[in-house]
Amino acid sequence: MAMVVVTAATSKKPSKEDQFPAGRINPLLLASACVGSWKALNFLLEREDAKKAPMVAPTQEFLELLAGGSGTKGRIAVSAAGDVEEGVDHEPAPPAAGALLKGVTPDGDTALHAVASNGDNGDDFLKCAGIICDRDRDLLFAKNHMGDTPLHCAVRSGSSKMVSRLIALAEHEGAEGKLKLLRMENERHETALHEAVRIEDEKNMVRLLMGSDPELANYPAKGISPLCLAILLEKDTIAVTLYKKSGGNLSYSGPDGQNALHVAVLGATRMVEVLLRLNRSLPTQGDKHGSTPLHFASSLHQDSSGFFWCPPWIRNYWRTRISNIVAKVFEANPAALYPIHVAASVGTTSTVEFFLQKSPSSAGLRNAKGRTFLHVAVEKRRREIHSGLRCDHIEQKHRRPLNQKEKKKESNLIKDTTQMFIVVAILIATVAFGATFAIPGGYKADDHLNGGTPTLAGRYIFDAYMMANTLAFVSSTVATVALVISGTTMVDLGTRQWNLIAAVYLLSSSVTSMTVAFALAAYMVLAPVARSTAIAIFMISPLPVLYRNVDRIFKWGLLARARLVRKGPIPTILNFFGMAVFGTILMDLWPLIVTFAWAAFARIHH
């Protein structure tokens, strides 16, 4: 709402600085319009009719009219006025008749714009609008610098009575005048209906405008339609209201040649299902780049349940209706990208799989560069596409499959290896199981407090020993199960190979855990009486773990000189320590991390 403060007049002749520029609205007229004082407005217009000079400072009579006919707004507007004299005897010569209403604000607003913008459904504002239109009907269709008409301003202010009044005034010019006002567009190519979609009381305002012109939802002919705007703002109720009030005769156009379905797909709203029911041709329409709604849907990331990243009601509806638009799977945009290329470029595996399931021949579609969706996936580094859909394509092309004789030989080799490893696994499990109960330090006597419990329980080293021993037992036991599976000839050869690899790794971890448990047990027993010997045993015990990595360390040493020459000292050192930290510590020495981390945690919470 514009705020106009009217200053008091004096008997002094106004200077050039006090006079408003030509073409600018008279501030007293603007004050009358903003506060809805039709009496003050009439006072100014009657002075113009009498060919009197325009007022640049208020008189006492004007201030009384302004305050008495406009309630609180009028009192606020004149609160700064003090002692007033007539002060109009020395004003300039009167302008041409009707010039008073021709003035505009710096934003291009006329007096009718001001009335429409500040109207609060009061009768005084409605009278002001009628007075202004009776004197200059053209102001009803006048636009400000933003291209807004008084109707745009009235809708934006949420005044339904003012909207009805302006429509009724335009209807005095006939049905064409009413339609002209309702369909006028501003600089954003939006009618007053677009403003009605945006405001809080949008539903009633939309019904009012659509009741006056059922075809209003067809405007603008190009650009964002009211329906598209409602979907964009996720106002589904308004979108349905527009469709019902227009009887289905409305525009679905959106930005950049898109339609409402493009917008609904990207917004993942329930309107996708509604639009597909209302207009079956929407999925076949492309935007200015030739992309259909199916291209847009293919670009959305999937959720945990797959297909497009959107609520299930939309995803399922697309799936059930895909057969009706299957031809669009074979339609490319101007960039020669098919929907399956778009899905592959963003890594939506389930969407690609869905297209291949519904239309297997789409796998051979090529873009302008002659590339299939797999080429696009590799170019965009979407491993989940090119490695997940066909992880054995290189093996099929470059490796000869095993015949039955070779498979039998491989099976026997796994069986023999399993028999050797299973003995070691059972041995470690047996030792770990026995060490759990034959603990260092023994047990407390039965006649003592907590009799029958470990003597050294609660100490840091004891907790670490128990955890290491547990890891050794669990790892060897799981390795035993894996070896049993790998040694079973009825199981698939690939599954047996995988279980054998897992068993070897778990056996390696159990050896590490058992070594740690041995060192900790020796240290607990000898440290109080033979500390040097305990430390020596503790230092020698890691040799089995180090010996297991001798081959790897030897290879690192052989490659160090070559890497130093080719890469330089810093990259070589970083690479060496990177492999040592992540390859050895995390993969081979994880039992140590778990053992001592648990001991520290138990110590803190003991």
Q: pLDDT tens for residues 230-251? A: 998 888 889 999 999 999 999 9
Least confident of 94-108, 151-165, 193-207, 358-372: 94-108
Long-range contacts at 377-386 (CB < 8 A, ≥ 24 apart): 377/344, 377/345, 377/347, 380/344, 380/345, 380/346, 380/347, 382/344, 382/345, 382/346, 382/347, 384/347, 384/349, 385/344, 385/347, 385/349, 385/352
pLDDT in the model for residue 147: 96
Counting the structural domains of the chain, the total is 3
Looking at the structure, do residues 397 and 443 belong to the same domain, yes or no?
no
What is the residue range of 347's domain?
254-401
pLDDT over threshold 80, residue 20 = no
Looking at the structure, do residues 465 and 494 belong to the same domain, yes or no?
yes
Domain edge (last residue) among 527, 548, 569: 548
- Tell me the β-bridge partners of 253: 259
Percentage of the chain exceeding pLDDT 70: 78
Percentage of the chain exceeding pLDDT 90: 31
Decide which of 90 and 267 is more confident: 267
Q: What is the rounded CA–CA span in Å between residue 95 and residue 111?
A: 18
Note whether residue 126 is domain-resident. no
Looking at the structure, do residues 395 and 283 belong to the same domain, yes or no?
yes
Looking at the structure, do residues 469 and 541 belong to the same domain, yes or no?
yes
Q: Distance from CA of residue 415 to its chain's centroid?
A: 53
CATH number of the domain bearing residue 288: 1.25.40.20
Query: Which of 567, 395, 602, 357 is closest to 494 using CA atoms?
Result: 395
Domain edge (last residue) among 102, 126, 147: 102
pLDDT over threshold 60, residue 70 = no
pLDDT in the model for residue 344: 85
Least confident of 144-148, 202-206, 255-259, 460-464: 202-206
Note whether residue 270 is domain-resident. yes
Q: In angstroms, how far is the first alpha carbon of the chain from the final one?
A: 69
Note whether residue 83 is domain-resident. yes
Tokens of residue 292, six digits = 């259909």
Query: Which of 531, 547, 545, 554 is closest to 585 using CA atoms?
Result: 545
Tokens of residue 358, six digits = 């519904």
**Contact by Cβ (8 Å): 78, 66:** yes
Q: What is the rounded CA–CA span in Å between residue 512 and residue 468?
A: 9
Decide which of 285 and 558 is more confident: 285
Domain edge (last residue) among 523, 548, 573: 548
> Residue 130 — φ and ψ, nearest 5°?
-65, -40
Give residue 100's pLDDT band: very low, low, confident or very high (50, 70, 90): confident
Looking at the structure, do residues 419 and 392 belong to the same domain, yes or no?
no
Q: What is the rounded CA–CA span in Å between residue 509 and residue 464?
A: 16
Looking at the structure, do residues 459 and 501 belong to the same domain, yes or no?
yes
**Mean pLDDT across the stretch 170-188?**
93
Give residue 561's pLDDT band: very low, low, confident or very high (50, 70, 90): confident
pLDDT in the model for residue 90: 42
Looking at the structure, do residues 350 and 426 belong to the same domain, yes or no?
no
**Contact by Cβ (8 Å): 353, 389:** yes
pLDDT in the model for residue 366: 84
Looking at the structure, do residues 373 and 469 belong to the same domain, yes or no?
no
Residue 78, SS3 per DSSP: coil
Note whether residue 271 is domain-resident. yes
Looking at the structure, do residues 274 and 370 belong to the same domain, yes or no?
yes
pLDDT over threshold 70, residue 503 = yes
Amino acid at 491: V
Looking at the structure, do residues 299 and 345 belong to the same domain, yes or no?
yes
Average predicted confidence (pLDDT) for the chain: 80
pLDDT over threshold 80, residue 77 = no
Note whether residue 196 is domain-resident. no
pLDDT digits (tens, 9 = 90+) for 275-320: 888 888 888 788 888 888 877 777 765 443 333 444 444 444 455 5
Q: Distance from CA of residue 350 to its chain's centroid?
A: 20
Residue with tokens 């290879």: 555
Least confident of 32-41, 122-131, 153-162, 387-396: 387-396
Looking at the structure, do residues 359 and 479 belong to the same domain, yes or no?
no
pLDDT digits (tens, 9 = 90+) for 42-51: 999 988 888 8
Note whether residue 417 is domain-resident. yes
Cβ-in-10-Å burial (0-12, 13-18, 19+) of 193 comes to buried
Give residue 398's pLDDT band: very low, low, confident or very high (50, 70, 90): low
Give residue 341's pLDDT band: very low, low, confident or very high (50, 70, 90): confident
pLDDT in the model for residue 397: 62
Note whether residue 164 is domain-resident. no
Note whether residue 36 is domain-resident. yes
HSE-up of 467 (CA within 13 Å, CB side)? 20
Looking at the structure, do residues 267 and 335 belong to the same domain, yes or no?
yes
Tell me which DSSP letter residue 259 carries.
B
